[in-house]
Amino acid sequence: MATRAPAVRKHLSADALLHRLRTGFGAIADHRPGTPKILLPDALMSAFAMFSLKSPSLLAFDDERKEGNLQQVYGIGQVPCDTRMRDILDPVDPESLRALFKSVFGALQRGKALEEMVFINGHYLLALDGTSYFSSQEIHCQSC
């Protein structure tokens, strides 16, 4: 009995989803005045790349930045170094990402890409915790 390849859903391909992210990141207002050297969408896409590649730290991601593949795979114009990424992204309000998250999540739901992750009563079971990867024993505040 031959196995059948799943139907190709172009709108759910990696390229299509990365394009959706880039476009959505481009719609987020940049908090920095003037014309910054590194664009906010590039910094946001770099952060997404860092998490999707499961880099163990910002410093480890910085090594990948130097290899040059991030620009081609993720469509990033200029990848910021670890310090610059923090400077750019720390002031970004996470709420500004909610509409984009809903857009990507909705596309995945409509395309039935999440059906295998339905767990109990129609809820999804996803492992999305990144807190153990990016933490510091030296830099902290009272809220940490």
Q: How far is CA 77 from the centre of its chain?
A: 15
Q: Could you give the C-alpha distances from 63 to 3, 23, 41, 108, 120, in angstroms and in order?
A: 40, 26, 20, 31, 41
pLDDT of residue 115: 86
Token pair, residue 82, equals 């670890």
> Within a domain: residue 102?
yes
> Within a domain: residue 73?
yes
> Within a domain: residue 84?
yes
pLDDT digits (tens, 9 = 90+) for 69-81: 888 889 898 999 8
> Within a domain: residue 127?
no
> Within a domain: residue 89?
yes
Token pair, residue 112, equals 């039935």
Could you give the CA distance from residue 141 to residue 134 in angstroms, rounded to a whole number? 15
Token pair, residue 72, equals 């081609």
Q: Is 79 helix (H, G, I), strand (E, B) or coil?
A: coil
> Within a domain: residue 137?
no
What domain range is 14 assigned to? 10-26+35-114
Q: Mean per-residue pLDDT for 40-49?
A: 94
> Within a domain: residue 41?
yes
Tell me the residue length of the chain. 144
Residue 12 half-sphere exposure toward CB, CA atoms < 13 A = 14
Cβ proximity of 90 and 31 under 8 Å = no
pLDDT digits (tens, 9 = 90+) for 81-128: 888 999 999 999 999 999 999 999 899 888 888 888 888 888 887 666
> Within a domain: residue 5?
no
Number of domains in the chain: 1
